């Protein structure tokens, strides 16, 4: 996006990518359907960026969800709004959009250089060092936009190798941490062997925060060999991660029967079992079976099964202990990165005039749902325009 803004401004642009082809993480983002953005109202949309909402609001003012959709339509790709409010290309895929975009960029004169891994600056100089299959080369541009990604999915290029390169130039960088990630749970061998890969649907989750408030979400998640992951977990992952870091763990309260009143549930469970086993009784009276029944037996203590009231309370508020976030490279995205105090309003590094930063390498995070991609596009738009302004002043 930064390359497009600069080329539209009449600037010759060379785009260097460490991988054999560009946009590999973009293609991965579209593997299950490319969620471009979200259709909710702007105030709610910008709130999704948490403590960075003010900084990102400035980007979105110039290139927000509607501008992104208009831009996609300009590439000949139609979009639609799904039942959840999420926005997708009609074909759901990332590849047609990427092909159309690259074709337009090449037609505009942007020159692509694959297998060029940035290795910092020439010692004592301004030239950029690139490691290529044929050796090292130096490039000295009038301005540079760095869009180096975060720290997740290293095999696609986002390996965080840029962090020390900027740190040694005095740029403030917050530690990269997993975002939109799964978490470890100390499952029993039975739970791991029997239910890994099984989705837990129609549940609610609540997390008590240090300030006394409670964060609640509805949805579903997946049991894995190591713990839990999926949309419900990702929606809470930033708060879960911060709680784990602060206290050594986090307890997620699961409601396995959302929509069922606690008193009514206790009354239903108090009905005579007759010849029913406990499993059948739970299935018939509480709708608890399969993986939900396994979770209940995995987490609840023996005394919880001693009375209908305690059993109902366990079903409505099952305390699942999460031990740690999964490794950064497994995460969908990352938190941390170049601090906003190191940047001017044009996304130029204060300590390195003419060097701009964009995308996930900046210190922000967002949940899944189109928010990540929208802000990445918007930051590229902002950095490209910032570089244009700087070049105009520097000439």
Q: How many CA atoms lie within 13 A of 322 on its CB side?
A: 29
Residues 338 and 318 in one domain: no
Residues 12 and 149 in one domain: yes
Residues ≥6 apart with Cβ < 8 Å to 83: none
User: How many structural domains comprise the chain?
Assistant: 2
pLDDT of residue 394: 57
User: Contact, 220 vs 230, CB < 8 A?
Assistant: yes
Length of the chain: 395
Q: How far is residue 184's CA from residue 93's CA, in Å, rounded to a whole number? A: 31
C-alpha closest to that of 71 among 277, 372, 384, 374: 374
CA 27, 237, 43, 81 torsion-angle sign: positive
Residues 7 and 145 in one domain: yes
pLDDT of residue 18: 96
Phi, psi of 254 (to 5 degrees): -100, 130
pLDDT of residue 180: 96
For 307, 318, 371, the CA distances from 304, given in Å and listed in that order, are 7, 10, 41
Residue 208: strand pairing partners: 214
pLDDT of residue 379: 98
Residues 30 and 130 in one domain: yes
Question: What is the model's pTM?
Answer: 0.91
Residues 128 and 48 in one domain: yes
Q: Which of 300, 325, 350 is the last residue of a domain?
A: 325
Residues 237 and 346 in one domain: no
Q: How far is residue 258's CA from residue 167's CA, in Å, rounded to a whole number? A: 48
Each residue's pLDDT, cut to its tens digit, for the chain (395 residues) gives 999 999 999 999 999 999 999 999 999 888 889 999 999 999 999 999 999 999 999 999 999 999 999 999 999 999 999 999 999 999 999 999 999 999 999 999 999 999 999 999 998 888 999 999 999 999 999 999 999 999 998 999 999 999 999 999 999 999 999 999 999 999 999 999 999 999 999 999 999 988 888 999 999 999 999 999 999 999 999 999 999 999 999 999 999 999 899 999 999 999 998 888 889 999 999 999 999 999 999 999 999 998 999 999 999 999 999 999 999 999 999 999 999 999 999 999 999 999 999 999 999 999 999 999 999 999 999 999 999 999 997 55
Residues 265 and 344 in one domain: no
Residues 12 and 139 in one domain: yes
Residues 33 and 154 in one domain: yes
User: Contact, 5 vs 143, CB < 8 A?
Assistant: no
pLDDT of residue 66: 97
Range of the domain at 367: 2-177+333-394
Residue 321: strand pairing partners: 251
Helix (H, G, I), strand (E, B) or coil at 14: strand
Residues 189 and 315 in one domain: yes
Place of tokens 């300009």: 74
Residues ≥6 apart with Cβ < 8 Å to 349: 166, 171, 338, 342, 343, 355, 356, 357
H helix or E strand, kind and range, residue 25: helix 24-29
Residues 111 and 242 in one domain: no
The per-residue b/e assignment along 188-207, b for 16 or more CB within 10 angstroms, e otherwise, is: eeebbeebeeeebeebbbeb
* Domain CATH for 19: 3.50.50.60
Residues 21 and 134 in one domain: yes
């Amino acid at each position: 996006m930064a390359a497009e803004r600069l080329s539209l401004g009449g600037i010759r642009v060379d785009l260097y990518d460490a991988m054999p082809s560009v946009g590999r993480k973009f293609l991965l983002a579209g593997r299950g359907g490319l969620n471009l953005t979200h259709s909710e109202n702007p105030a709610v949309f910008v709130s999704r960026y948490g403590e960075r909402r003010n900084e990102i609001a400035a980007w979105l003012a110039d290139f927000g969800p509607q501008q992104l959709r208009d831009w996609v339509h300009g590439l000949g790709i139609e979009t639609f709004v799904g039942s959840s409010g999420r926005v997708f290309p009609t074909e759901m895929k990332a590849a047609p959009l990427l092909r159309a975009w690259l074709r337009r960029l090449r037609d505009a004169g942007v020159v692509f250089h694959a297998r060029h891994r940035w290795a910092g600056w020439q010692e004592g100089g301004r030239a950029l060092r690139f490691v290529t299959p044929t050796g090292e080369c130096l490039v000295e541009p009038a301005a540079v936009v760095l869009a180096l990604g975060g720290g997740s999915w290293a095999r696609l290029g986002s390996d965080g190798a840029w962090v020390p390169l900027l740190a040694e130039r005095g740029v403030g960088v917050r530690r990269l941490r997993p975002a939109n990630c799964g978490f470890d749970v100390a499952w029993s061998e039975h739970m791991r062997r029997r239910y890994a890969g099984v989705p837990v649907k129609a549940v609610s989750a609540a997390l008590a925060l240090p300030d006394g408030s409670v964060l609640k979400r509805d949805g579903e998640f997946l049991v894995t060999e190591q713990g839990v992951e999926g949309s419900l977990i990702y929606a809470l992952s930033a708060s879960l991660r911060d709680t784990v870091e602060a206290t050594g763990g986090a307890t997620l309260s699961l409601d396995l029967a959302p929509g069922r009143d606690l008193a009514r549930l206790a009354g239903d469970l108090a009905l005579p079992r007759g010849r029913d086993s406990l499993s059948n009784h739970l299935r018939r009276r509480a709708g608890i079976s399969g993986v939900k029944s396994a979770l209940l037996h995995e987490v609840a203590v023996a005394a919880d099964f001693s009375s209908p009231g305690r059993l109902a309370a366990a079903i409505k508020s099952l305390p699942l202990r999460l031990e740690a976030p999964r490794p950064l490279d497994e995460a969908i995205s990352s938190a941390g990165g170049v601090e906003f105090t190191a940047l001017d309003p044009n996304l130029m590094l204060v300590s390195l005039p003419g060097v701009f930063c964009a995308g996930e390498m900046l210190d922000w995070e967002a949940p899944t749902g189109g928010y990540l991609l929208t802000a990445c596009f918007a930051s590229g738009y902002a950095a490209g325009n910032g570089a244009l302004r700087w070049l105009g002043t520097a000439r």
